[in-house]
Chain A
Amino acid sequence: MLRGLVTTAKVMLRPAHTAEYPDVRPVLPPRSRGVIALVQENCTVCMLCARECPDWCIYIEAHKETLPPTTEGGRARQRNVLDRFAIDFSLCMYCGICVEVCPFDALHWSPEFEYAEFDLHDLLHEKERLGQWMPTVLPPQPPDPAAPEPKEIAQAAKAAARAARTATATAGRAATTGRAAGSRKAADAGRAAEAGKADAAGGTPGRRELPE
């Protein structure tokens, strides 16, 4: 009886272990699989995510557009234009395969989880809604020191070296214009290298540039 009272007293003095959820929001890790965010501009309509999804809850619709040749006498190019990208979160199993297979980092996990709906149909998020999740995506954590160097860093280093070579070559051949272009490339490569370092295995949004 006395021992029980002692325990009660001890527990009473201890701070509460409970999280005051709606008032205090939980701190979630970047890898947390809350909702899938989409960077529309990065999507090339390759359909990998839709095909790899174990329960086929990704809907993609697109059409082809013909771009006029950029140079005189050049060839007209075709490119895919995304019309619809939707994920049905009432079917989604939150496995993350779509995010994993996306070759152009168009899909990202966001730890955001407050999107419950009264109607099941409202869980179908169209591309506008999926894009709105993008600001909530957290930067990935750095990998364990024992982890091998991410391949993005090697790629970026290679790109930087190539850019530097081009820069010296152009500088040797011509005057200011060449140098300006070369240095811009080198700067790009440097940025990519930084991004690669920050990013262990996931991807950095917006690495791929759209042809304007």
Chain B
Amino acid sequence: MDVDGGRELTVGVGAGGLATSDMVLNIGPQHPATHGVLRLRLVLDGERIVSVDPVVGYMHRGAEKLFEVRDYRQIIVLANRHDWLSAFANELGVVLAVEQLLGTEVPERAVWARTLLAELNRVLSHLMFLGSYPLELGALTPVFYAFREREELQSVLEEVSGGRMHYMFNRVGGLKEDLPAGWTARVQAAIAPVRRRMPELESLLLGNEILRARTVGVGVLPRETAAQFGVSGPIARASGLDLDLRRDEPYLAYGELFAPGGPGRVVVRTAGDCYARLDALLEQVHVSLDLAEYCVDRLRSLPPGPVNVRLPKVLKVPAGHVYRWTENPLGLNGYYLVSRGDKVPWRLKLRSASFNNVQVLSRMLPGCLLADMVSILGSMFFVVGDVDK
């Protein structure tokens, strides 16, 4: 790990001449910087981190095993809970996998509505981290700005789905029920102020000298390491790993959105430090708002039609297996569904983004200062529920 000279020097003064033994420091499982119950076992040489061992599993709920005794509607309940900030995207992976095995054709209005909701959900998740990350660095103000925008979007999501976090709005074959009259107009009315006020939040973050001092050049994640550890999402893209399933393996309506001339673009940064990750996240909010606006326009111009298909009373999925991955706000989220023709899956493997994103900490943190640990940990944008499943 390359660390700039100034930092090296300050440490050298204290610990240079003394013979020190390594110290083991446990961060968590209950620690405000870990957003939940992640435990990091650090070995410290003075102020410097020698090795890191992320200890996961404190919030393990056995989600995969629980999936096996629940039918496909009940699975959605559980599936939207492992990463509680991107519930809609989690539901989406399950229903897409089931629909692929069933060979269901989803009505066009449902496809566009799903895309719209997925993008709004992405904005919500990103805003959460844009608020909480500065909070960990000691900046209190951005979280209020971020949550004000979240509230605007959450209210339209609540109106359509009834939930503010766990939407439960996806069903196999489409959506639970149709959109309320005038909802699309209210979505537009919610997106506009969020878009207008984003520069305020941006100037608080990117322009902030203290924040820059704590993030620029800190916690550099090289592209190769990111690829080796299966890091994905905005974190990987901030390291120059140009992978976005919305463009590379389009699902829903992303084929059209990311087509040449479409509003979609993939945000890539090359620095790979904490600042780049934050910057990538901010830029992705803009992209997602663009996509959401485009989806609303398309949704309004679509011919009348249903948003779901008629399903049998007891939904049995034909025997077979399928792997569907989607671009969740935090990275690749995949479901490997094995069905033996029952109304419950035989196995539903979950590949969650945060699990891989957290593992790479064991490579990133050694060599860093303890004080930088919080800023690196916060910039990895993970949800502990998504790590432990």
Contact = CB atoms under 8 A, between A and B. Distances in A.
Contacts of B166: 93-95
Interface of B: 70, 73-74, 76-78, 81, 109, 148, 155, 158-163, 166, 168, 176-181, 183-184, 302-307
Nearest to B303: A146
B148 A143 contact: no
A200 B304 CA distance: 15
A62 to B, nearest CB: 22
A142 B159 CA distance: 12
Contacts of B163: 33, 94
A29 B159 CA distance: 5
A54 B78 contact: yes
Contact of A29 (B148, B158, B177): B158
A144 B183 contact: yes
Contacts of B176: 96, 100
Given A29-B158, A54-B77, A54-B78, A148 B179 contact: no
B168 A96 contact: yes
6 interchain residue pairs of minimum CB distance: A31-B162, A141-B180, A147-B178, A29-B159, A201-B177, A54-B74
B184 A144 contact: yes
Nearest to B168: A95
A148 B161 contact: no
Interface string A177-212: 000000000000000000000001110000000000
Given A31-B161, A94-B163, A148 B305 contact: yes
Contacts of B168: 95-96
Interface in A62-86: none
Contacts of B78: 54
B158 A147 contact: no
A144 B178 contact: yes
Contacts of B148: 17
A200 B158 contact: no
A97 B178 contact: no
